[in-house]
């Protein structure tokens, strides 16, 4: 990456301009641990002899959580040679020394890994630095509530299959709802004080049923009535575009209708089809993404969907019934629907919540 820069100087002066310098220093885990201990020595003068014993044990536990995770990320150990990373490491060590909560050591580890991955992104770095400072201050229930809110706002299933999608969400929140979610307003005020959220008592959150059916419209849109004129036209489009004959499936919420197996129209470019290729005396099948022409064909079919508002309302009701059949999703809906104000998560809150979510579920994607 090159950051374009301009530079001016007066007469008889010399311009020296560095757009970006990257120094690769070979650091293995042994050297990274040595640097970690060198940074830790700076903390010794901050404590009495008695307190230092406790602090040092906590910092050592943080080290043992951090190092294996850093070693698993390609190039991450090299960050220990970066002065700005070392400064953040010292702050993380101070936070580790001040907390008795073992989960915080994993949380701090995730934050430092985020710091390495975000590299030159100053906005992300600022959020991560501030998040490190409040790890030992955020209450357990407030951190849980913040993480659940972040998960609702940022993670959706990729699949177009309704039951599979709900099962994916149920599994996710089964990991993130690791204890009973907080009630009342004290936890929100606490997060507001820590600058992790901003509260607006005049607003409110969308109910779970409304929110998820808006971001997963493919699950509840009415579809095409079987054996109708639009159905026949859709089958013609499928044939002309060389799409699979099963591109339309029965709608889980109304057996008289069919739908494309998608969560929304924007995800058509993610769909794949099986293509047969000759292989010795037989054939082999491979999955390939659908073509631009096939995407256009699916969009034409989606535009043939019925716009019957009453039927869609019935589908939304059936969606909520299916939602509540899954215990973790039912807990989520009952909790979320009782939050009585608008909440905006700050950059600090997002980094903290995402790190905690990844601590709970290692398969989650990195923070965008």
pLDDT tens-digit map of 74-106: 999 999 999 999 999 999 999 999 999 999 999
Q: Are 156 and 219 in contact (CB under 8 A)?
A: no
pLDDT at 163: 97
Tell me which of 10-19, 252-261, 282-291 is least confident. Answer: 10-19
Where b means 16+ CB within 10 Å and e means fewer, 274-311 reads eeeeeeeeeeeeeeeebeeebbebbeebbebbbeeeeb
Average pLDDT over the chain reads 89
pLDDT at 108: 96
Partners of 258 in the beta sheet?
A: 224, 250
Q: Is 273 helix (H, G, I), strand (E, B) or coil?
A: strand
pLDDT at 285: 66
Provide the whole-model pTM.
0.84
Angle between the N-to-C axes of helices 103-118 and 122-134, in degrees from 0 to 180, rounded to the nearest 10: 170
* 287-334 confidence digits (pLDDT tens): 788 899 999 999 999 999 999 999 999 999 999 999 999 999 999 999
Q: Is 210 helix (H, G, I), strand (E, B) or coil?
A: helix
pLDDT at 46: 81
* 332-341 confidence digits (pLDDT tens): 999 999 999 9
* Burial bucket for residue 44 (CB in 10 Å: 0-12, 13-18, 19+): exposed
The H-assigned helical ranges of the chain are: 29-41, 49-72, 83-98, 103-118, 122-134, 140-154, 162-176, 186-193, 208-215, 217-220, 229-240, 292-302, 309-324, 327-336, 347-360
Confidence of residue 2 (pLDDT cuts 50, 70, 90): very low
Q: Which residues have CB under 8 Å from 111's CB, separation 6+?
A: 92, 128, 131, 132, 135, 351, 352, 355
Question: Which of the listed ranges 16-30, 161-175, 276-290 does the model predict with the highest average pLDDT?
Answer: 161-175
Distance CA 163, CA 161 (A): 6
In whole angstroms, how far apart are CA 341 and each of 7, 105, 130, 335?
A: 49, 32, 25, 13
Partners of 343 in the beta sheet?
A: 199
- Cα 157 to chain centroid, rounded: 11
Report the phi/psi class of residue 258: left, alpha or beta, with left for phi > 0 and alpha for psi in -120 to 50: beta
pLDDT at 307: 96
Distance CA 331, CA 340 (A): 17
- pLDDT over 90 at 133, yes or no: yes
Q: Which has more pLDDT, 277 or 317?
A: 317
Q: Half-sphere exposure (CA, 13 Å, Cβ side) for 43?
A: 26
Report the 10 Å Cβ neighbour count for 82: 16
Q: Which residues have CB under 8 Å from 222's CB, separation 6+?
A: 251, 254, 257, 305, 306, 307, 308, 311, 312, 315
What's the token pair of residue 49? 């002899």
- Cα 172 to chain centroid, rounded: 11
pLDDT at 282: 66
pLDDT at 4: 29
Partners of 114 in the beta sheet?
A: none
pLDDT at 273: 75
Average pLDDT over residues 329-356: 96
List the Cα angle 292/294/299 in 5-degree steps: 95
Q: Is 6 helix (H, G, I), strand (E, B) or coil?
A: coil
pLDDT at 280: 63
Instruction: Report phi then psi at 353, rounded to 5.
Output: -65, -40
Confidence of residue 248 (pLDDT cuts 50, 70, 90): very high
Distance CA 364, CA 245 (A): 34
Greatest alpha-carbon span in the chain: 85
pLDDT at 47: 85
């Amino acid at each position: 990456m090159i950051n374009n820069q301009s530079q001016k100087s007066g007469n008889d002066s010399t311009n020296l301009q560095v757009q970006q310098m990257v120094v690769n220093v070979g650091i293995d885990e042994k050297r990274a641990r040595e640097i970690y201990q060198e940074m830790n020595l700076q903390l010794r003068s901050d404590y009495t002899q008695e307190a230092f014993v406790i602090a040092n044990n906590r910092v050592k536990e943080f080290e043992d959580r951090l190092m294996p995770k850093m070693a698993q990320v390609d190039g991450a150990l090299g960050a220990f040679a970066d002065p700005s990373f070392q400064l953040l490491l010292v702050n993380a060590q101070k936070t580790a020394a001040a907390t008795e909560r073992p989960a915080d050591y994993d949380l701090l580890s995730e934050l430092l890994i985020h710091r390495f991955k975000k590299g030159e992104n100053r906005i992300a770095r600022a959020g991560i630095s501030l998040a490190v400072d409040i790890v030992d201050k955020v209450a357990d229930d407030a951190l849980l509530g913040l993480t659940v809110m972040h998960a609702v706002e940022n993670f959706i299933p990729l699949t177009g299959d309704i039951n599979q999608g709900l099962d994916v969400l149920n599994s996710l929140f089964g990991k993130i709802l690791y204890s009973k979610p907080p009630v009342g307003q004290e936890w929100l005020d606490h997060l507001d004080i820590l600058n992790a959220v901003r509260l607006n008592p005049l607003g409110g959150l969308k109910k779970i049923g409304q929110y998820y059916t808006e971001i997963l419209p493919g699950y509840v849109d009415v579809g095409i009535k079987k054996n109708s004129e639009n159905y026949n036209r859709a089958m013609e489009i499928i044939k002309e575009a060389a799409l699979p004959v099963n591109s339309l499936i029965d709608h889980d919420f109304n057996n008289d209708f069919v739908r494309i197996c998608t969560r929304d129209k924007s995800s058509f470019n993610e769909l794949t089809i099986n293509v047969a290729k000759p292989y010795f005396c037989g054939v082999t099948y491979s999955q390939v993404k659908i073509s631009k022409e096939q995407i256009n064909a699916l969009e034409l079919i989606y535009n043939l969907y019925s716009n019957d508002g009453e039927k869609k309302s019935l589908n939304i009701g059936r969606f909520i019934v299916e939602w509540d059949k899954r215990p973790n999703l039912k807990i989520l809906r009952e909790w979320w629907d009782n939050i009585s104000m608008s909440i905006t998560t700050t950059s600090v809150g997002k980094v903290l919540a995402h790190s905690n979510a990844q601590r709970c579920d290692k398969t989650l994607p990195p923070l965008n």
